[in-house]
């Protein structure tokens, strides 16, 4: 395998960004080429993957130089990220104009966030992707919320850097694996001393991962965002941040019991409160953004319990289904001037194909059987029971009821014209139009079929589908193809 | 001592972020926070009696005691990031002032 | 009321930070100010330039072909050992300058200064402008042997441009030229990195001889990279300055 592809995932989009300022007219093509290259490169890396690779930038061996780590975990990350990014860019290409460079930079930075094996480098890439996100959200024309986002995001990354500095002071290294090794050879317990840096890092990452109470920016930024910005933030950006979060929790978070309880309360609290908030909202995009916050809470809570595979399944399910849901929600919102549920009664009667895509994604989100979300949820519950954890499955099941309630309410409103009957139907049919319909329909249909296929095939093919390890599946399953 | 001072600066910045509603003051508070943070990072690299980490004709051997050069490099990066974010924040502030005619977040209303 | 709550919250955070850093009774401790043993840190090898196995002492003006030829150790960390971070930080500045450009767009003209500049101010500023630009260039060319480098050098150049803006109410930089410099320098930085893959094996690896520590022409790609960074930072900050000192014209 040519390991240079690992660095090219970051270098090519960056180079494309720099070049497209020079030749402005070609910006679109440079962005397209970068996205295409990244898709191909991540495909090649996945195809050739045998064992973890560490790429030493500058030829300096870790921990001295910066290294990129390609293991099953980051491989899954870059595959998911590049595919999702490409799909969103194709579906929402009418908004890309003028923002090609920012998108290229964001693509490079998100790949960097997933691949990097160095704490400070992680901070740099988080900051680049955050700045790209601030610029993208100015498309909403509601600068006040962008400013809010900028202030919170900068404070968060500052706290992250503070935590990294304390870690460097204690262990004398910035390489994540090296710090892990240095922790392992210390014979006395280190959890007590790590409380402050871990709390700082957790807080810093929580801002971007949208955990409560640090997610104040999300509502303003996302509630009237278009299908490019909003979808990118709820799927691509949040996937990258959560993956980085998971990697840090997995390798650095040696927590004392009380700290673990605090973190768990924050994440599970996010899950519960955000689902309740989603239930109480009346607008499509607001429902989806609160559901996205809740899912982030669930993913981080699972990472904290040490259930990497289950967390990744939930993450994948959330990213793919949110991509479909948010794109359609934003599209409906733009075309009709509102995304209030009651004004959109029976909107899907006119567009049945898109409606079925939306329905499949929503069903997968709540985890109904025959959809991918079911596999994810079953894995979560089974692995939690195996870890002798009773209360978290209870919480998840109760929350699922709330989630199911608002998703079903959403679907019935969108499919059903309600009491007013024919009149409302005719009105909506007139109002509801879609530009870019062909591209959108194709991608959403494919993604919806993928969700259904990923929900049915494991049931038929695997005996232990409720207990399957996505990371080893990636090497054994795909590598063996 | 300087380390305590840098942490106090960071706290002043956080206080500003929590209590102020004026856009320009918020940007200033953010900058105070960042400066405190940068000072803190430089200070963790200080070694007692260490030299400036540059080889010159006076300090010509690498065997002498130097301060830690890595935090200096990190701070360089963090300062530049701070500059970028501040520039963007000021541009947003200008845009907001054009739109609402005020720098006060409360007077801008819910829109 | 808000003030009191904020003060209480900040005080709580402060007590938390201070007690965890300086008054903890854990065995693993935060190393207090100045009380640091560099042997425990990775930076020890940056000082000795011994990451790739060099065992000899580095002597100013004598050592040849060290793994990083820079006499300024901070520079060798910034442009050799952790060059990837620097590429990232260049990108941060690039994308935020771009964002400023996107926000403050449209056809623009200079804002009127409060006091119209007189002839002496204009001419005097031009003389100082030349000196400042030369100093900025000096700064990034000598980044590997003296304190300084691409970022301060670029900032000094941008400051000289700001001086012209303040002393002359007609002056504007050519934004297209600034964009061209910025983009060329950025692409060249990536190309230097890619040349590293082709010629030496790894991205951003040094592929030029590093010469004698302490000489102006030494340390491989460092002066080249710093020159690119200097130009890039200078042009980016200049276009940001232009954005803030101009206003949109109607129509």
Inside any domain, residue B57: no
Domain of residue A473 covers 256-481
Q: Does A415 touch chain B (CB under 8 A)?
A: no
Q: What is the DSSP letter of A348?
A: G
Task: Determine the pLDDT at residue A177.
Answer: 92
pLDDT bracket for residue A15 (50, 70, 90): very high
How many other C-beta atoms are found inside a 10 Å radius of the C-beta of residue C146? 15
pLDDT bracket for residue B56 (50, 70, 90): confident
Residue A90, φ and ψ in degrees, nearest 5: -70, -45
Q: Please, are residues A339 and A329 in contact by the beta-carbon 8 Å criterion?
A: yes
Give per-residue pLDDT as tens, A186-197: 888 888 888 999
Lowest-confidence segment of A199-208, A307-316, C214-223 by average pLDDT: C214-223
Residue C204's region, left for phi above 0, alpha for psi from -120 to 50, else beta, is left
DSSP string of chain C, one letter each residue? -HHHHHHHHHHHHHHHHHHHHHS---SS-PPPTB---GGGSTHHHHHHT-TTS--SPPBTTT-BS-SS--SBHHHIIIIIITHHHHHHHHHHHHHHHHHHHHHT-SSEEEPPPSS---HHHHHHHHHHHHHHHHHHHHHHHTTTTSS--HHHHHHHHHHHHHHHHHH-SS----HHHHHHHHHHHHHHHHHHHHHIIIIISSTT---S---BTT-SS-STTHHHHHHHHHHHHHHHHHHHHHHHHEEEPP-
Give per-residue pLDDT as tens, C49-67: 888 888 888 888 888 888 8
8 Å CB contact of B74 and A143: no
Task: Determine the pLDDT at residue C13.
Answer: 92
CA angle, corner A118, sides to A113 and A124, nearest 5? 50
Task: Provide ipTM, 2 decimals.
Answer: 0.95
CA distance linking residue C76 with residue C92, whole number of Å: 21
8 Å CB contact of C84 and A127: no
> How many domains does the structure of chain A reveal?
1
Collapse the DSSP code of A67 into the 3-class scheme (helix H, G, I; strand E, B; otherwise coil) and give the result.
Answer: strand
Q: Which chain C residue lies closest to A64 (C-alpha atoms)?
A: C42
Q: How far apart are the first and last CA of chain A?
A: 16
Tokens of A139: 């498309």
Inside any domain, residue B30: yes
Place of tokens 């040519």: A2
* Burial of C169 from C-beta contacts in 10 A (0-12 / 13-18 / 19+): middle
**Peptide linkage before C63 cis (omega within 30 of 0):** no
Task: Determine the pLDDT at residue A141.
Answer: 79
Q: C153 or A192: which carries more pLDDT confidence? A: C153
Q: Which chain C residue lies closest to B44 (C-alpha atoms)?
A: C33
Q: Which chain C residue lies closest to A62 (C-alpha atoms)?
A: C51
Task: Determine the pLDDT at residue A432.
Answer: 60
Place of tokens 């080889």: B55
Surface of C (7-46) touching A: CB under 8 A: 16-17, 20-21, 24, 26-31, 36, 40-43, 45-46
Q: What is the pTM of this model?
A: 0.94
Q: What is the DSSP letter of A53?
A: E
* Burial of B12 from C-beta contacts in 10 A (0-12 / 13-18 / 19+): middle
What is the average pLDDT value for chain A, to the nearest integer?
87
Lowest-confidence segment of A94-98, A167-171, A466-470 by average pLDDT: A466-470
Strand partners, C108: C248
Average pLDDT over residues C120-136: 93
Collapse the DSSP code of A37 into the 3-class scheme (helix H, G, I; strand E, B; otherwise coil) and give the result.
Answer: helix
8 Å CB contact of A192 and C87: no
8 Å CB contact of C145 and B90: no
Q: Does residue A165 register a pLDDT over 80?
A: yes
Q: Please, are residues A271 and A297 in contact by the beta-carbon 8 Å criterion?
A: yes
Task: Determine the pLDDT at residue A479.
Answer: 45
CA distance linking residue A351 with residue A336, whole number of Å: 14
Task: Determine the pLDDT at residue B100.
Answer: 86
Q: Does residue C155 register a pLDDT over 70?
A: yes
Average pLDDT over residues A101-111: 94
> How many domains does the structure of chain B reveal?
1
pLDDT bracket for residue C251 (50, 70, 90): low
CA distance linking residue A151 with residue B26, whole number of Å: 8
Tokens of A363: 């069903």
Which residues make Cβ contacts (< 8 Å) with residue A105, sequence separation at least 6? A13, A14, A17, A128, A132, C91, C94, C95
* Burial of A344 from C-beta contacts in 10 A (0-12 / 13-18 / 19+): buried
CA distance linking residue A459 with residue A111, whole number of Å: 32
Surface of B (42-101) touching A: CB under 8 A: 44, 70-71, 74, 77-78, 81, 84-85, 88-89, 92-93, 95-96, 99-100
Collapse the DSSP code of B66 into the 3-class scheme (helix H, G, I; strand E, B; otherwise coil) and give the result.
Answer: strand
- Count contacts between A and B (CB, < 8 Å): 65
Tokens of A352: 């049945």
Give the sign of the dihedral formed by CA A467, CA A379, CA A87, CA A414: positive
Percent of chain C scoring above 90 in pLDDT: 42
Q: Does residue C28 register a pLDDT over 90?
A: no
Lowest-confidence segment of A125-129, A420-424, B32-36 by average pLDDT: A420-424
Place of tokens 């043993």: C37
Inside any domain, residue B54: no
CA distance linking residue A143 with residue A220, whole number of Å: 10
8 Å CB contact of B77 and A120: yes
Inside any domain, residue A414: yes
> Of A146, A156, A454, whose CA–CA distance to A316 is shortest?
A454
Q: Does residue A249 register a pLDDT over 90?
A: yes
Q: Does residue C212 register a pLDDT over 50?
A: yes
Q: Does residue A449 register a pLDDT over 60?
A: yes
CA angle, corner C195, sides to C190 and C199, nearest 5? 160
Inside any domain, residue B88: yes
Q: Which chain C residue lies closest to B42 (C-alpha atoms)?
A: C33
Q: Which residues of chain A make contact with B14, given a CB cutoff of 8 A? A: 155
Inside any domain, residue A63: no
Question: CATH code at B21?
Answer: 1.10.287.3510
Lowest-confidence segment of A145-149, A171-175, C37-41, C229-233 by average pLDDT: C37-41
Domain of residue B35 covers 2-49+62-108
Q: Which residues of chain A make contact with C205, given a CB cutoff of 8 A? A: 58-59
Q: Which residues of chain A make contact with C70, given a CB cutoff of 8 A? A: none
Q: Does residue A152 register a pLDDT over 90?
A: yes
Task: Determine the pLDDT at residue A439.
Answer: 82
8 Å CB contact of A21 and C183: yes
With contact defined as 3+ CB pairs under 8 Å, the chains touching B are A, C
Task: Determine the pLDDT at residue B101.
Answer: 86
Inside any domain, residue B55: no
Longest pairwise C-alpha distance within chain C:
68
Identity of the residue in B14, B55, B68 whose CB atom sits nearest the CB atom of C71:
B55
> Of C167, C137, C168, C143, whose CA–CA distance to C155 is shortest?
C137
Q: Which chain B residue lies closest to A145 (C-alpha atoms)?
A: B111
Q: How far apart are the first and last CA of chain B?
A: 46
Residue A77's region, left for phi above 0, alpha for psi from -120 to 50, else beta, is alpha
8 Å CB contact of B44 and A168: yes
Average pLDDT over residues A227-236: 90
pLDDT bracket for residue A161 (50, 70, 90): very high
Q: Which chain C residue lies closest to A141 (C-alpha atoms)?
A: C103
Average pLDDT over residues A441-450: 87
Task: Determine the pLDDT at residue A415.
Answer: 81
Task: Determine the pLDDT at residue A481.
Answer: 41
Q: Does residue A214 register a pLDDT over 50?
A: yes
């Amino acid at each position: 395998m040519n390991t240079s592809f690992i660095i090219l995932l970051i270098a090519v989009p960056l180079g494309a960004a720099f070049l497209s300022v020079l030749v402005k007219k070609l910006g679109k093509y440079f962005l397209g080429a970068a996205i295409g290259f990244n898709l191909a490169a991540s495909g090649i890396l996945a195809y050739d993957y045998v064992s973890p690779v560490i790429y030493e930038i500058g030829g300096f061996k870790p921990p001295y130089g910066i290294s990129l780590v390609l293991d099953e975990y980051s491989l899954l990350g870059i595959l998911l990220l590049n595919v999702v990014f490409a799909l969103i860019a194709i579906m929402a290409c009418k908004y890309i104009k003028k923002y090609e460079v920012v998108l290229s930079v964001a693509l490079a930075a998100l790949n960097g966030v997933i691949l990097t094996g160095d704490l400070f480098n992680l901070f740099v890439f988080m900051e680049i992707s955050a700045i790209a996100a601030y610029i993208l959200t100015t498309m909403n024309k509601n600068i006040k919320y962008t400013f809010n986002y900028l202030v919170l995001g900068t404070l968060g990354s500052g706290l992250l850097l503070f935590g990294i500095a304390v870690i460097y002071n204690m262990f004398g290294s910035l390489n994540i694996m090296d710090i892990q090794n240095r922790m392992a050879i210390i014979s006395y317990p280190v959890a007590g001393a790590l409380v402050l840096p871990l709390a700082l890092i957790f807080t810093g990452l929580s801002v971007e991962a949208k955990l409560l109470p640090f997610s104040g920016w999300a509502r303003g930024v996302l509630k009237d965002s278009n299908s490019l910005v909003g979808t990118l933030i709820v799927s691509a950006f949040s996937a990258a941040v959560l993956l980085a979060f998971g990697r840090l929790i997995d390798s650095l978070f040696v927590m004392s019991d009380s700290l673990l309880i605090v973190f768990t309360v924050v994440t599970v609290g996010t899950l519960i409160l955000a689902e309740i908030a989603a239930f109480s909202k009346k607008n499509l995009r607001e429902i989806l953004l609160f559901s996205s916050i809740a899912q982030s809470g669930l993913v981080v809570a699972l990472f904290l319990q040490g259930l990497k595979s289950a967390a990744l399944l939930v993450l994948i399910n959330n990213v793919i289904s949110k991509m479909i849901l948010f794109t359609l929600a934003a599209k409906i919102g733009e075309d009709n001037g509102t995304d209030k549920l009651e004004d959109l009664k029976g909107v899907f009667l006119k567009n049945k194909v898109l409606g079925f895509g939306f329905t499949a994604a929503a069903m997968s989100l709540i985890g109904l059987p025959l959809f991918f979300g079911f596999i994810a949820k079953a894995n979560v519950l089974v692995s939690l029971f195996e870890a002798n954890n009773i209360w978290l499955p209870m919480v998840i099941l109760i929350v699922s009821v709330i989630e199911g309630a608002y998703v079903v309410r959403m679907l019935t409103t969108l499919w059903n014209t309600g009491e007013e009957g024919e009149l409302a139907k005719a009105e909506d049919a007139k109002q509801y139009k879609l530009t870019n319909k062909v591209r959108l329909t194709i991608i959403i249909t494919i993604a919806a079929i993928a969700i259904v296929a990923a929900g049915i095939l494991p049931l038929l093919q695997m005996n232990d589908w409720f207990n399957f390890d996505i990371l080893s599946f990636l090497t054994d399953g795909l590598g063996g193809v | 001592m300087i380390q305590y001072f840098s942490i106090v600066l960071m706290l002043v910045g956080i206080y500003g972020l929590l209590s102020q509603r004026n856009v320009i003051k918020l940007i200033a508070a953010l900058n105070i926070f960042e400066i405190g943070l940068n000072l803190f990072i430089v200070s963790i690299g200080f070694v007692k009696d260490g030299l400036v980490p540059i080889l010159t004709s006076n300090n010509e051997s690498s065997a002498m005691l130097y301060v830690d050069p890595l935090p200096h490099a990190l701070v360089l990066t963090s300062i530049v990031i701070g500059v970028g974010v501040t520039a963007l924040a000021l541009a947003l502030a200008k845009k907001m002032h054009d739109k609402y005619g005020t720098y006060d977040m409360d007077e801008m209303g819910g829109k | 009321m808000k003030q009191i709550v904020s003060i209480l919250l900040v005080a709580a955070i402060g007590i938390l930070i201070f007690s965890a850093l300086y008054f903890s009774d854990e065995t693993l401790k935060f190393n207090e100010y100045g009380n640091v043993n560099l042997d425990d840190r990775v930076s020890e090898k940056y000082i000795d330039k011994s990451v790739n196995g060099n065992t000899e002492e580095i002597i100013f003006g004598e050592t040849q072909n060290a793994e990083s030829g820079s006499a300024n150790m901070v520079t060798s960390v910034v442009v050799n050992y952790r060059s990837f971070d620097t590429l990232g930080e260049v990108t941060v500045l690039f994308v935020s300058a771009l964002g400023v450009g996107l926000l403050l767009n449209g056809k623009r003209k200079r804002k009127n200064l409060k006091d119209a500049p007189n002839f002496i101010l204009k001419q005097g500023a031009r003389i100082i402008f030349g000196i400042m630009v030369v100093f900025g260039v000096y700064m990034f060319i000598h980044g590997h042997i003296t304190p300084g480098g691409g970022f301060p050098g670029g900032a000094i150049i941008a400051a000289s441009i700001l001086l012209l803006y303040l002393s002359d109410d007609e002056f504007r930089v050519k934004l297209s030229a600034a964009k061209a410099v910025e983009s060329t320098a950025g692409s060249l930085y990536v190309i230097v990195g890619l040349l590293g893959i082709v010629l030496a094996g790894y991205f951003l690896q040094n592929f030029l001889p590093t010469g004698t520590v302490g000489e102006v022409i030494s340390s491989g790609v460092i002066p080249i990279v710093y020159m690119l960074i200097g130009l890039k930072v200078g042009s980016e900050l200049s276009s940001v300055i232009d954005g803030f000192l101009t206003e949109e014209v109607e129509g």
